[in-house]
């Protein structure tokens, strides 16, 4: 399967309308995923394009129906639209369904254990002599609160009334309703856990090292909020891996010269991937071992397709040499992938560089430091504002953890761009 686009609503257009503008009849036989049930204006166009399936998040605190449930004196527009959506759903070939499925057993526990060991958290731990062991837990709890406020309706009765209004009465009875609520909470927990592994912490962020400032490459990086958000997308992809030991995710974005109608502004999606065995192979076709004590012949390294390689192979658009293109990788690109990234014409790499300059078993990371002509933005302390220009937020203390913000973060706080919220 291939992702052909990631879009979010703008001030003038809904996400569904933008998808139609960008892709048109190419949406035929595609699956669409929405963060809320599409309105009738979007749904009729999408159904007409011949899509295969439309899946959506079953509740949203911003949904206009919530105001009508709490205030019966409001207009009936939202209810009328909900009924129109239900009629379109009932009389169309496309399958329109609730997005949510139960998570695999122990998935939340696995994601939490893995996230605490990831490069970004580990790099903070190594640089902070007074690093608080509860830091990650505090960050995770904050993200859980944030995401619950964004994606969950706290009042169960209000949630039921909204589901009934949009034609999902069958989900309002137990055990269906309690299962739905639990599945939603589990997924929010996973999203928050992954987001906490790329934390907002002090002057840490994605910065170009000083040695690269004079090599003629484009060292103007993205605002930290956007870079962090893209890396979280790559982190989520890492959990699709077929590598039992190390999951790696990669996502490629580019920046157009003119601002488009999309809510992502000038940025547009090119491709994404995770590390896996060749398409169509069975579980036991290739070795999964990487123990140094074993024979090199039965190691996995020569068979795994790397995340960067899959992102380039299954991209939906070409990489244009006159536009700024960027790849976000959860780990430092290895010697196999560095020449591919440069050869593809990608202008910038965003990564953690914990493995840079090292050789592990059959995997070498020696070429990353030597790469020229491509700007490298690695997860590190801001080299320009490490101490003197850092300020502390006196209101941000929680559980003994001091949060800080750099001047760079302050400059970009009004330039936030959310690539995943519709």
**Residues labelled catalytic:** 308
* Rounded distance between C-alpha atoms, residue 413 and residue 406, angstroms: 11
Phi, psi of 161 (to 5 degrees): -65, -40
* Rounded distance between C-alpha atoms, residue 404 and residue 389, angstroms: 11
**Alpha carbon of 250 to those of 322, 332, 337, 399: distances in Å?**
22, 11, 11, 33
Peptide bond into 171 cis (omega under 30): no
Question: How many CA atoms lie within 13 Å of 351's alpha carbon, on the beta-carbon side?
Answer: 30
Which ranges of 197-270 does DSSP label H, i.e. alpha helix? 224-238
The C-alpha torsion from 49 through 50 and 56 to 58, rounded to 10°, is 100
Angle at 387 between CA 385 and CA 390, to 5 degrees: 65
CB 272 within 8 A of CB 250: yes
Query: What distance, in Å, lies between the first and last C-alpha atoms of the chain?
Result: 23
* Rounded distance between C-alpha atoms, residue 251 and residue 350, angstroms: 10
CB 380 within 8 A of CB 212: no
Taking Cα atoms as reference points, which of 334, 287, 284 lies closest to residue 307? 334
70 burial via Cβ count (<10 Å: 0-12, 13-18, 19+) = exposed
Phi, psi of 370 (to 5 degrees): -85, -5
CB 300 within 8 A of CB 363: no
């Amino acid at each position: 399967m291939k992702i052909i686009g990631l879009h979010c609503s703008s001030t003038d257009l809904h996400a569904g309308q933008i998808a139609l503008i960008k892709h048109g009849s190419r949406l035929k036989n595609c699956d669409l995923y929405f963060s809320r049930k599409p309105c009738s204006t979007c749904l009729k166009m999408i159904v007409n394009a011949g899509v295969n399936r439309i899946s959506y998040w079953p509740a949203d605190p911003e949904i206009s129906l919530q105001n009508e449930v709490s205030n019966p004196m409001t207009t009936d527009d939202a209810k009328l639209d909900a009924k129109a959506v239900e009629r379109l759903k009932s009389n169309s070939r496309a399958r329109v369904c609730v997005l949510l499925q139960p998570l695999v057993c122990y998935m939340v526990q696995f994601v939490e254990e893995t996230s605490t060991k990831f490069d970004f958290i580990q790099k903070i731990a190594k640089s902070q002599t007074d690093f608080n062991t509860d830091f990650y837990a505090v960050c995770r709890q904050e993200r859980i609160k944030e995401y619950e406020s964004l994606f969950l309706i706290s009042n169960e009765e209000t949630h039921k009334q909204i589901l009934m209004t949009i034609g999902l009465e069958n989900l309002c009875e137990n055990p269906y309703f309690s299962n739905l609520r639990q599945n939603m909470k589990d997924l929010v927990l996973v999203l928050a856990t992954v987001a906490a592994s790329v934390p907002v912490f002090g002057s840490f962020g994605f910065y170009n090292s000083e040695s690269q400032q004079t090599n003629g490459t484009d060292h103007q990086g993205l605002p930290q909020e956007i870079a962090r958000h893209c890396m979280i997308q790559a982190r989520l992809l890492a959990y699709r891996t077929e590598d039992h030991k190390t999951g790696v995710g990669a996502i490629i974005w580019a920046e157009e010269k003119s601002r488009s109608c999309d809510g992502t502004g000038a940025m547009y999606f090119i491709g994404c991937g995770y590390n896996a065995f060749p398409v169509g192979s069975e579980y036991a076709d290739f070795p999964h071992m990487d123990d140094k004590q074993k024979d090199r012949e039965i190691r996995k390294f020569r068979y795994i397709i790397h995340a960067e390689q899959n992102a380039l192979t299954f991209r939906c658009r070409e990489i244009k040499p006159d536009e700024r293109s960027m790849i976000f990788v959860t780990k430092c690109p290895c010697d196999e992938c560095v020449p591919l990234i440069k050869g593809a014409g990608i202008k910038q790499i965003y990564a953690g560089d914990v493995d840079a300059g090292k050789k592990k078993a059959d995997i070498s990371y020696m070429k990353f430091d030597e790469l020229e002509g491509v700007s490298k933005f690695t997860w590190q302390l801001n080299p320009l504002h490490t101490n003197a220009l850092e300020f502390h937020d006196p209101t941000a203390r929680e559980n003994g953890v001091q949060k800080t913000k750099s001047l760079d973060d302050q400059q970009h706080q009004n330039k936030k761009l959310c690539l995943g919220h519709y």
